[in-house]
Amino acid sequence: MGKSKAAPDSLDFATISELNQLLRGRQISAQDLASHFLNRLKSIGPQYNALALSLDKLAKKQAKEVDDDLKRERFRGPLQGIPYGAKDLLSVRNYPTTWGAKPFENQIFDDNAHVINRLRGAGSVLIGKLSMVELAGGGGYNGAGASLQGPGLNPWNKAYWSGGSSSGSGIAVAAGLVPYALGSETSGSIMTPASYCGVTGLRPTYGLVSRRGAMTLSWTCDKIGVLARSAEDCGHALHGIAGKDDADPSSAGKSFYYSPQYQRQFRDLKIGYNSLDFNQWVDEPMRPDFLSALNVVKSFGSEMVEMALPDFPYGLIIGCIIDSEAASVFEEFIRSDRVNALADSDQINGLKASLNYTALDYLKAMRIRSQIQASFREVFSKIDVLISPTRFHFPERVDQPFDVQDKNRPAAPGQKGVGAGLVQASNLCGLPALSVPCGFVNGLPIGLQFVGPAFSENTLLSFGREFQRLTDFHKQRPPLMA
């Protein structure tokens, strides 16, 4: 292909809409665009341990098909010709799918994950598989190095963690290696890297996106979602991957159409929050920036409602459910010697311990979960959106075990805010969430999360779009990428 008419440095952090306009205007070819991001992913990705597998041949074939369509003016929508990366728990036919773990490094499946096929139909170009915490963190882990590729290094400061388990997806978007990436969340695995890496992350409602062809950790909690540059880009990507799948028993049978133009006025909505989250629960250096972010949200004109979460032991409940289901999924592996080849010894021990849960433990947890779900239905009968900091602490350092760093953090206040347990509670309830960058403290990004009732993704995205219209945190680039 000839030289692109678009300057290469204008592409790295361009949005999906901007890139789509360049493609449709024939200012750049899909093949040149794929090559540009392939080169970045292969040259920069390994520096941050973000790349699991480059898919050059597949990407170039898909990009050529897009160019052939564009020549014939066959337009498929905003994702057409847009390169992306996928977390390495999503199968890609005839290529390794490692689940981030040494024991599975040679694992190959015969079929693509359902979301990979959907994006192929939309014309999006898969250029690589992205690193992840081994087995998506099943069994628990005690360090950033719990990954086949090594610790996910934060593009804003390589001494800090990128967050997990969708580590490579967060890094790749933050560093301008892909315009968007697929991740997954069971209890925080999209929200955490979105916050730590300073990108926008969308965790959809449970069942809205098919998980067929994805590694199972917890069949009642796993969700496939998106990390991208903006709320708008998340909306376009969700439009591409969501929808009914009769072959996935967990599919909700619903479609998603990104339609921000039809959302209710902010003045007609109620936002639940707790001031303690912003001025006491977060690490002290973060408080001014989080309070400023809260003031931006207050400027929307919605009614602000002070509240606290229903009082449940969210961490204990989701821990029991995830561990019990993971023990069932990985029982044969855990009982074999192969489990000892995992990188994190705490995770090995945690997986082995998960076999000790009883049916009684699991059923008790599921019974309390149903009470939590009923309580949240009551919460969202009174408000439309919950907001809180996405994460309340700075990213962990990559050179120290997590438990050592936890001991050095200040004790939490006695009162409970919204954010205490919100990630765990909303995952137990299968609720959607959006994390947006909302500031920088000590050179590291922080994130604000919006959580809504089931299938309220368009409402959450409209809040994210408005926040990003009024701020420019999502447009900032890591120093080495600027």
d(CA 104, CA 8): 37
Measured at the CA of 373, the angle between CA 87 and CA 290, to 5 degrees, comes to 65
End-to-end CA distance of the chain: 27
* Active-site residue (options: 35, 165, 195, 456): 165
CA distances from 151 to 159, 178, 341 (A): 10, 20, 16
- Is 165 annotated in the active site? yes
Annotated catalytic residue: which of 29, 35, 54, 87? 87
State yes or no: is 162 an active-site residue: no
Of residues 151, 399, 420, the one with CA closest to residue 280: 420
Evaluate the CA torsion angle 314, 317, 320, 322 in order and state its sign. negative
Omega before 195 cis (within 30°)? Answer: no
Which residue type is seen at 228?
A: A
Q: Which long-range contacts (CB under 8 A, 24 or more apart) does 64-73 make?
A: 64/30, 64/31, 65/123, 66/23, 66/30, 66/123, 66/125, 67/29, 67/30, 67/31, 69/123, 70/23, 70/24, 70/26, 70/30
- Strand ranges, E, within 346-443: 385-389, 433-441
Give ∠ CA 183-186-190 in degrees, rounded to 5. 35
* Known catalytic membership, residue 195: no
Q: Which of 189, 210, 230, 251 is catalytic?
A: 189
Rounded Cα distance, 266 and 442, in Å:
32
- Cα gap 250→245, rounded to integer Å: 9
Residue-wise over 102-126: b if at least 16 C-beta within 10 A, else e? Answer: ebbeeeeeeebbbbbbbbbebbbbb
Hey, what are 248's tokens? 């996935």
Q: Which of 39, 35, 88, 89 is nearest to 62 (CA)?
A: 35
Query: In a 3-state reduction of DSSP, which class is residue 90?
Result: strand
* Catalytic positions: 87, 165, 189
